[in-house]
Amino acid sequence: MPSIIDNVITFHREHFPHSTDYALFASPGRINIIGEHIDYNGGTVLPAAIDKHIYICVSRNNDGIFRFVSANHKEIGEVSLKNLYTPQTQSHAANTWWVYPYGACVVSTIEFDYGLDFSFYSTLPVGAGMSSSASITVGTLYALYSLYNKKIKNADLALQAQKVEWDFAGVHCGIMDQMAIINGKKDQAIMLNTQSMDFSYIPVDTSAVRFVLVNSGVKHSLRESGYNDRRRECERAILMLNKAGFAIQNLCDCSIDDLIQIQNILPQTEYKRAYHVISENHRVHQFAREIQQYNLSKAGELLYKSHQSLSVNYEVSIPLIDEMVEWASDIDGVYGSRLMGGGFGGCTISMVALYAVEHFAVTIAQKFKKKENRTPEIYECSIEDGTHRIE
Ligand code: GLA
């Protein structure tokens, strides 16, 4: 049976039969264990790269055209080198899947002197909250710098990928996804301070626990969801707190103890958002401590608390996801469960004892089927290296 790599290369050759040489890269998706909606609030988050990838095959061409083809999308993107930077091309790309690799070419600091043929082949589900857009963007940037033999720091590459989300896709996301995807390391979660961009690795004992995602099947699109609204609400809260004398730049500059005072300053909605952000940041540090001491039950409890806060205070959950978390909490061997990613759909992430993974998957699928009359996609994720070159 051909491997995925064989398939990717065959796909590339079929589309670009004249290409003589190619380079092949793999860019992972990410899970976020805990620390949701705080990467744009200066908080600390705990994501990890996973074993679902977007494969990127790229070769040079002599006709000065950038071509983007994907095994997962029918539409083909084509832009001439001469039009690469025009506003017309940018608005043409804006609502297509290839806006991300196209945007990556534009924001990179590479001076192109020839065209490139790109093909993409994904084992990473789109719209499920595993950051397929960050994966393809980081992967394309990595491929470009590697092809041109140009050195770039991981953090700078992550910032360029974030710029693509902001300027080309209109999503004012944080930096977690890009940093997790580029810095991923096997069996290590990344404890990332999103203010300083410093991070350290926290080992995850995969012989004891697994992280299992269940896809609600409700497509979440950050662009259309309330993601940008939440961001604005947090910005409003900061301004109000500044006016009241809090010399902060980010909500995560506040401590849990500040919340008592903050309650008297902020209107209800802004207070709820601030409450989530500040308490979630606190939970990330608690979680890291518990997991390093093998207190899996205590660590798991924090995941439930995170969900509760995302649902009630941050209001980014949906009833189906709340129910999925509830079902998970009734299953033996589940330490914790919560909504993962931007919200308004997407996946839940559950921390499950190794021995209970199969039972968890079967039970949750049954409950889901009964409620929704369809079978959910379930992904048991292993923690893997970040974006890298294969050949
Ligand atoms: C999306 C964004 C991230 C982060 C999460 C919520 O995945 O891309 O930057 O804000 O939502 O934690």
Report the candidate in 284, 288, 262 with the shortest Cα–Cα distance to residue 273: 262
Domain holding 105, by residue range, is 4-203+385-389
Domain co-membership, 155 together with 192: yes
Q: Which residues contact 31 (CB under 8 A, 6 or more apart)?
A: 47, 48, 50, 130, 211, 213, 340, 349, 381, 383
Domain co-membership, 330 together with 353: yes
Domain co-membership, 174 together with 239: no
- Res. 234: pLDDT tops 60: yes
What's the 45 CA to ligand 1 centre distance in angstroms?
A: 10
What atom of ligand 1 comes closest to residue 38's alpha carbon? 12
| pLDDT tens readout for residues 156-202 | 999 999 999 999 998 899 999 999 999 999 999 999 999 999 999 99
What's the 40 CA to ligand 1 centre distance in angstroms?
A: 8
Residue in the block written with tokens 């608690």: 286
- Percent of the chain at pLDDT > 70 equals 98
32, 33, 37, 39: residue to mutate for ligand 1 pocket, most atoms within 8 A of CB: 39
Find the range with the poorest average confidence among 208-222, 288-302, 318-332, 361-375. 208-222
Vertex 379: Cα angle to 378 and 381 (nearest 5): 160
Confidence of residue 224 (pLDDT cuts 50, 70, 90): low
Confidence of residue 326 (pLDDT cuts 50, 70, 90): very high
Determine the average pLDDT of the residues in 107-129.
Answer: 93
| pLDDT tens readout for residues 155-168 | 999 999 999 999 99
- Res. 1: pLDDT tops 80: no
Determine the average pLDDT of the residues in 310-326.
Answer: 97
Domain co-membership, 188 together with 219: no
Distant-in-sequence contacts of 100-103, Cβ < 8 A, 24+ apart: 100/133, 100/136, 100/137, 100/140, 100/164, 100/168, 100/169, 101/56, 101/68, 101/77, 101/136, 101/137, 101/140, 102/66, 102/68, 102/77, 102/168, 103/137, 103/163, 103/164, 103/167, 103/168, 103/169
Task: Tell me the CA distances in angstroms from 263 to 233, 243, 257, one per residue in order.
Answer: 15, 14, 11
Q: Is the CB of 376 under 6 A from ligand 1?
A: no
The predicted structure's pLDDT at residue 389:
98
Distance CA 363, CA 358 (A): 9
Q: Is the CB of 384 under 6 A from ligand 1?
A: no
Q: Is the CB of 173 under 6 A from ligand 1?
A: yes
Rg of the chain on CA atoms, in Å: 21
| pLDDT tens readout for residues 14-47 | 999 988 789 999 999 999 999 999 999 999 999 9
Number of neighbours of residue 207 by Cβ within 10 angstroms = 7
CATH number at 363 reads 3.30.70.890
Q: Is the CB of 177 under 6 A from ligand 1?
A: yes
The predicted structure's pLDDT at residue 225:
67
CATH number at 184 reads 3.30.230.10
What's the 130 CA to ligand 1 centre distance in angstroms?
A: 10
Q: Which residues contact 368 (CB under 8 A, 6 or more apart)?
A: 214, 324, 327, 374, 375, 376
Q: Is the CB of 342 under 6 A from ligand 1?
A: yes
Half-sphere exposure of 160 (CA within 13 A, CB side): 26
- For atom 9 of ligand 1, the residue with the nearest CA is 174
The predicted structure's pLDDT at residue 10:
95
- For atom 2 of ligand 1, the residue with the nearest CA is 173
Domain co-membership, 217 together with 237: yes
Domain co-membership, 270 together with 360: yes
Vertex 41: Cα angle to 36 and 45 (nearest 5): 40
**Contact 128/321 with Cβ under 8 angstroms?**
no
The alpha-helical segments, DSSP class H, found in 66-129 are: 87-93, 99-107
What atom of ligand 1 comes closest to residue 227's alpha carbon? 11
Distance CA 160, CA 151 (A): 14
Domain co-membership, 237 together with 158: no
Q: Is the CB of 39 under 6 A from ligand 1?
A: yes
Q: Which two tokens stand for residue 215?
A: 């896809």
Q: Which pTM was predicted?
A: 0.96
The predicted structure's pLDDT at residue 221:
64
The predicted structure's pLDDT at residue 304:
98
Residue in the block written with tokens 């990344």: 190
The predicted structure's pLDDT at residue 8:
94
Domain co-membership, 158 together with 248: no
SS3 breakdown of the chain: % helix, strand, coil, rounded to 5?
Answer: 45, 25, 35
Q: Is the CB of 231 under 6 A from ligand 1?
A: no
Domain co-membership, 317 together with 263: yes
DSSP letter (8 states) at residue 380: E
Q: Is the CB of 43 under 6 A from ligand 1?
A: no
What atom of ligand 1 comes closest to residue 133's alpha carbon? 8
- Res. 222: pLDDT tops 90: no
Q: Is the CB of 182 under 6 A from ligand 1?
A: no
The predicted structure's pLDDT at residue 219:
81
Number of neighbours of residue 318 by Cβ within 10 angstroms = 17
Domain co-membership, 248 together with 285: yes
Number of domains the chain is built from: 2
- Res. 223: pLDDT tops 60: no
Domain co-membership, 222 together with 122: no
What's the 244 CA to ligand 1 centre distance in angstroms?
A: 29
176, 223, 309: residue to mutate for ligand 1 pocket, most atoms within 8 A of CB: 176
What's the 2 CA to ligand 1 centre distance in angstroms?
A: 35
Domain co-membership, 186 together with 43: yes
Active site residues: 177
